[in-house]
Amino acid sequence: MHCPVLILGGTAEARALAARLTTDGVPVTSSLAGRVSKPRLPNGQVRVGGFGGPDAMAAWLTEQGVKAVVDATHPFAERISANAARATTAAGVPLLRLERPGWTEPADARWHWADDLDHAAALLGQLGTRAFLTTGRQGLAAFAELPVYTLIRCVEQPDPPLPANSDVILSRGPYEVDSERELMKSHGIDVLATKNSGGTMTVAKLEAARGLGIPVVVVRRPPRPATTTVSTVDEAAAWVHARVAS
């Protein structure tokens, strides 16, 4: 069998799971969307690009003889998770969701919860005049009309429209608290916006903002399909081993 396990990836957890399973001798294919020109590649086989919707993903699972799928995509990658739920049901393949826990607000922080990026933009306009936007490259159009300075940080150059008064920093985590604090201070940042991505790679900005007394707009995670979910690579690896062995 060519590929017993498909990992839907694009996250650190997905790479960690691929590394673990290949070490364990389980043939794995990781799937990446292809959004980033130089992605961090996981161990094992890699395929890049959309499947063409849930029906095409179901056909791919059957063709490849996939025995189990782990959806380890980012908590805000809504469409691929919905597609995975439909495709695995159609193909009769078990599906597990590997999702890192969200961040929780420290007692002395100043968080403001937003339901989506439009809501986040409205809150930013009320809370500050120099915003640090770390919500990612996609969806920045929601902030295009913001009449405040924005410092935008993302992995790849974002497409317009962007806020008129903005600077873009291209970089990829992990980040440290000290450098995050210096970045915010040097740009005079007085409000931060983030998705509730969770994990350790980008959490330092929250601690830096808390220390500087800067309010944070945190975008809530979108709703998810009702899939069996674990939060650690260990649990996901155990689930895969049980499926591949059976």
Q: What residues line the site for ligand NAP (CB under 6 A)?
A: 8-11, 31-33, 35, 50-53, 57, 73-74, 76-80, 83, 136, 138, 195
Which residue's CB is nearer to ligand NAP, number 75 or number 149?
Answer: 75
**12, 199 contact by CB (below 8 A):** yes
Question: Least distance to ligand NAP from the beta carbon of 222, Å?
Answer: 9
Torsion over CA: 128, 131, 135, 139 (sign): positive
Which residue's CB is nearer to ligand NAP, number 16 or number 80?
Answer: 80
Question: Least distance to ligand NAP from the beta carbon of 8, Å?
Answer: 4
Which residue's CB is nearer to ligand NAP, number 34 or number 188?
Answer: 34
The distance of Cα 165 from the centroid of its chain, to the nearest Å, equals 27
Which residue's CB is nearer to ligand NAP, number 190 or number 216?
Answer: 216
Which residue's CB is nearer to ligand NAP, number 85 or number 181?
Answer: 85
By beta carbon distance, the residue nearest ligand NAP is 50
Question: Least distance to ligand NAP from the beta carbon of 73, Å?
Answer: 3
